[in-house]
Amino acid sequence: MTSAGDDRLDALLSRLPHLHPKKIDLSLGRIERLLGELGGPERRLPPVIHVAGTNGKGSTVAFMRAMLEAAGRRVHVYTSPHLVRFNERIRLAGPDGGRLIADADLADVLGECERVNAGQSISLFEITTAAALLAFARAPADVLLLEVGLGGRFDATNVVAHPAASVITPVSMDHPEFLGTSVERIAFEKAGILKRGAPAVFAAQGEAALAVLTREAEYLGIRPVIGGQDYATREERGRLVFEDERGLLDLPLPRLSGRHQQINAGAAIATLRLLEADFPSRAFEAGLGTADWPARLQRLPRGPVPALAPEGAEVWLDGGHNAEGGRVLAEAMAEFEERSARALVLICGMLTTKDATGFLLPFKDLAQEVVAVPVSGDHEGRAAADLAAVAATVGLRSTAAETLEAAMRTLAARDWPVPPRVLITGSLYLAGEVLRMNGTPPG
């Protein structure tokens, strides 16, 4: 049974997408109008750390949140998309790590935005971002971690005129239909979050992206802190070593799996040290050990989904969906293989807008098989048979299944000399479906 708050929220989230004909229409004019009519909540926020990039935004935010909270700070967090419940996008500061916004509270701010907007054209992401900023402005916090939705320059989050810091995680190809068909053009859009007078941190970047980012920073008079130049992270003897001009930090490895998470952790540490020179090292240590970001190389040790897998199988979940995401995932799987040899099987579902070839290619000599599945819901999912055909063109053995459950049961029916390693991947929407099925929604 749903509460009155649930009913209102469901109704709002059903109505609001119809206020604009396009799901994505990058612009600042509509949200600036609405925020003005709401009294300018974006001007009443706690200090904002604004985070853009292609991959690693959410993980970097997760590390900063864990580190800040370990240091006793109250932290608001805005991220997207959600995996299971819309409320995941808005975390309000509070004791013991704060909480996801309650249904009734979310319905209140969304309803207020709907009334003030009065039927004018505005996209779902824009009006829900306005609602989030309204909620953040009304609740006390020390910091707001604000993740860009798409791009940066014309993203709805880019209404904050004076962030405490801007962070840009690794930039690569994604969303070319909205951001441009070159890394340089995409980097230009990401650099749109940079603001004159606000310090900036760039995670380690490819040469083309870095050239654009540094050019835009120079134009604004910003001297950015750059991964690989001004700071570095490396693994030594099972520890994470962070080094910058202030010296070395000897820290535990991140709780989040994969070498790429060391890059994200490094960007988080560099940002907090930039803002607060004596940020406590104990908070870095605690944050690395407690940071949580679901569906990013998340092990599913139990629940209905792994129960469908072959007996003894490892089941992993990751929402990676672009070529760079495929590369870092394959690298992580190769490291797992070195430590414990098992056949790797991908259960993969992707959207039609994603580069399936680029995503799957890094697994060519690593995965034994790809089982393609559809992505359920209204998400422009690629047909499983089409995705299986793409996998075959890159040299991967592939089959198609009608559902995730069917894919798992097919694998479970086989005789495995050693239980396999199963990686469910290709889409955050598929990852959300898995977490929903497994009864383990993010909290």
d(CA 397, CA 345): 10
Residues 315 and 229 in one domain: no
Ranges under pLDDT 50 in the chain: 1-3
Does any domain span residue 354? Answer: yes
pLDDT (0 to 100) of residue 149: 94
String of DSSP letters for 353-387: TS-HHHHHGGGTTT-SEEEE-PPPSSS-BPPHHHH
Does any domain span residue 443? Answer: no
Residues 136 and 264 in one domain: yes
Q: Which of 269, 290, 311 corresponds to the end of one domain?
A: 290
Own/partner contacts of 412-417, CB < 8 Å, gap of 24 or more, are: 412/308, 412/309, 412/310, 412/311, 414/310, 416/310, 416/313, 416/343
Which tokens go with 86? 């819309």
Does any domain span residue 124? Answer: yes
Question: Is 344 within 8 Å of 366 (Cβ atoms)?
Answer: yes
Residues 15 and 123 in one domain: yes
pLDDT (0 to 100) of residue 2: 43
d(CA 186, CA 287): 31
Residues 286 and 357 in one domain: no
Does any domain span residue 20? Answer: yes
Residues 268 and 359 in one domain: no
Does any domain span residue 237? Answer: yes
Residues 282 and 336 in one domain: no
- Who's near 11: CB < 8 A, 6+ residues apart? none
The number of distinct structural domains making up the chain is: 2
**CATH code of the domain covering residue 421:** 3.90.190.20
Does any domain span residue 74? Answer: yes
Q: Which of 268, 290, 312 corresponds to the end of one domain?
A: 290
**CATH code of the domain covering residue 61:** 3.40.1190.10
Residues 254 and 319 in one domain: no
pTM over 0.85: yes
pLDDT (0 to 100) of residue 154: 95
Q: Which of 235, 255, 290 corresponds to the end of one domain?
A: 290
Residues 97 and 173 in one domain: yes
pLDDT (0 to 100) of residue 296: 92
Containing domain of residue 328, as a range? 298-438
Residues 277 and 388 in one domain: no
Residues 408 and 424 in one domain: yes
Residues 266 and 309 in one domain: no
Residues 16 and 85 in one domain: yes
